[in-house]
C-alpha cells in the first residue's frame, strides 16, 4: 500500500490535537473508556447484514470481491449523544468458527467480546482522516442529525482482531462529541 496516497490508511498520526491523539491511539477497550467517562452509556445498532465489502477492506480481510461478509454498524452513545460510529466486518465463513456469536450481539458492545478473551490478538492501529464522500464519513454523519453543520472531516482508526486464525476488522470513527469527554 502506498502510504503517501491520500486514500491510504496510515500507521502514524499527523496534524491531530493532543486530545484527539489520546483517544485515537489508546489500544484498550474504547467501550470501557467511554463507559468510565459517561453516566449513561449505550450501544445502538443501526445496520447488520451480509453484504459485499469495500475495496480496501477486501485486501485487509483477504477476501475476494465475490465473498460475503457480515457488516455491523453501531453508534456508541454517552447519554443521548453519539460519540463513536463503529463499523465491523467479519467473513461469512468465520461466523461458523471463531466469531460464531457475533451475529447475535444486537445492541451489545463488540468490545465486551474482544477485550475479555486473552486469546484474541490485535494488529497495530491504522488511522485515516475521512471526509464527505467517503463511505465511513457518510455513514457516521447519518447519526449526527442534531448538529447544525457537519464537520469537515472525522478521524477513524481500524485494526484486525484475530482468534484461531480468523479475523474481524473493526473500524471506529470518532465523532465531534468525543472531544467533550475528559481524558
What one-character-per-residue DSSP string does 98-114 give?
A: TTTTGGG-TTS-THHHH
**Percentage of the residues of the chain whose pLDDT score is greater than 90:** 79
Tens digits of residue pLDDT in 120-150: 999 999 999 999 999 999 999 998 877 778 8
Q: What are the φ/ψ torsions at residue 135 (nearest 5 degrees)?
A: -55, -35
Question: How many domains does the chain fold into?
Answer: 1
Gap between the Cα atoms of 9 and 75, Å rounded? 22
Ramachandran sector of residue 100 (left: φ over 0; alpha: ψ -120 to 50; beta: rest): alpha
pLDDT at 181 over 70: yes
Containing structural domain, residue 133: 18-180
Whether 62 maps to a domain, the answer reads yes
Check: CB of residue 180 under 8 Å from CB of residue 147.
no
Question: Is residue 159 in some structural domain?
Answer: yes
C-alpha cell at 146: 442534531
And the C-alpha cell for 80? 443521548
Would you place residue 178 in the very low, low, confident or very high pLDDT band (cuts 50, 70, 90)?
Answer: very high
Q: Is residue 118 part of a domain?
A: yes
- Taking alpha carbons only, the member of 13, 78, 87, 100 closest to residue 48 is 87
C-alpha angle 129/120/38, rounded to 5°?
55
Q: Is residue 172 part of an annotated ligand binding site?
A: yes
Going by C-alpha positions, the residue among 90, 55, 54 that lies closest to residue 72 is: 90
Q: For the whole model, what pTM was predicted?
A: 0.93
Q: How many CB atoms lie within 10 A of CB 180?
A: 11
Q: Is residue 1 over pLDDT 70?
A: no
Task: Determine, yes or no, domain membership for 9.
Answer: no
Has residue 8 been placed in a domain?
no
Q: Is residue 10 part of a domain?
A: no
pLDDT level of residue 7 (50, 70, 90 thresholds): low
SS3 30: helix
pLDDT above 70 coverage of the chain, percent: 96
Q: Report which DSSP code applies to 67.
A: -
CATH number of the domain within which 30 lies: 3.40.1410.10
Is 158 within any annotated ligand binding site?
A: no
How many other C-beta atoms lie within 10 A of the C-beta of residue 70? 20
**136 labelled ligand-binding:** no
- Residue 48 is assigned to a structural domain of this protein: yes
Q: How far is CA 141 from the centre of its chain?
A: 14
**Is residue 2 situated within a structural domain?**
no
Specify the residue for cell string 484474541. Answer: 120
pLDDT band with cut points at 50, 70 and 90 for residue 39: confident
The mean per-residue pLDDT over the stretch 53-79 comes to 93
Amino acid at each position: 500500500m502506498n502510504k503517501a496516497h491520500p486514500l491510504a490508511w496510515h500507521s502514524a498520526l499527523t496534524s491531530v490535537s493532543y486530545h484527539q491523539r489520546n483517544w485515537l491511539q489508546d489500544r484498550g477497550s474504547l467501550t470501557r473508556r467511554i463507559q468510565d467517562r459517561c453516566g449513561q452509556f449505550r450501544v445502538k445498532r443501526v445496520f447488520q447484514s451480509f453484504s459485499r465489502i469495500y475495496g480496501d477492506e477486501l485486501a485487509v480481510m483477504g477476501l475476494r470481491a465475490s465473498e460475503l461478509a457480515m457488516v455491523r454498524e453501531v453508534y456508541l452513545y454517552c447519554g443521548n449523544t453519539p460519540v463513536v460510529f463503529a463499523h465491523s466486518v467479519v467473513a461469512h465463513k468465520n461466523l461458523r468458527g471463531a466469531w460464531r456469536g457475533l451475529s447475535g450481539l444486537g445492541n451489545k458492545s463488540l468490545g465486551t467480546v474482544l477485550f475479555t478473551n486473552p486469546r484474541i490478538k490485535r494488529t497495530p492501529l491504522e488511522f485515516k482522516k475521512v471526509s464527505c464522500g467517503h463511505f465511513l464519513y457518510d455513514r457516521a454523519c447519518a447519526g449526527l442529525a442534531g448538529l447544525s453543520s457537519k464537520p469537515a472531516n472525522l478521524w477513524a482508526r481500524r485494526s484486525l482482531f484475530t482468534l484461531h486464525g480468523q479475523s474481524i476488522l473493526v473500524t471506529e470513527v470518532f465523532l465531534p462529541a468525543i472531544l467533550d469527554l475528559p481524558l
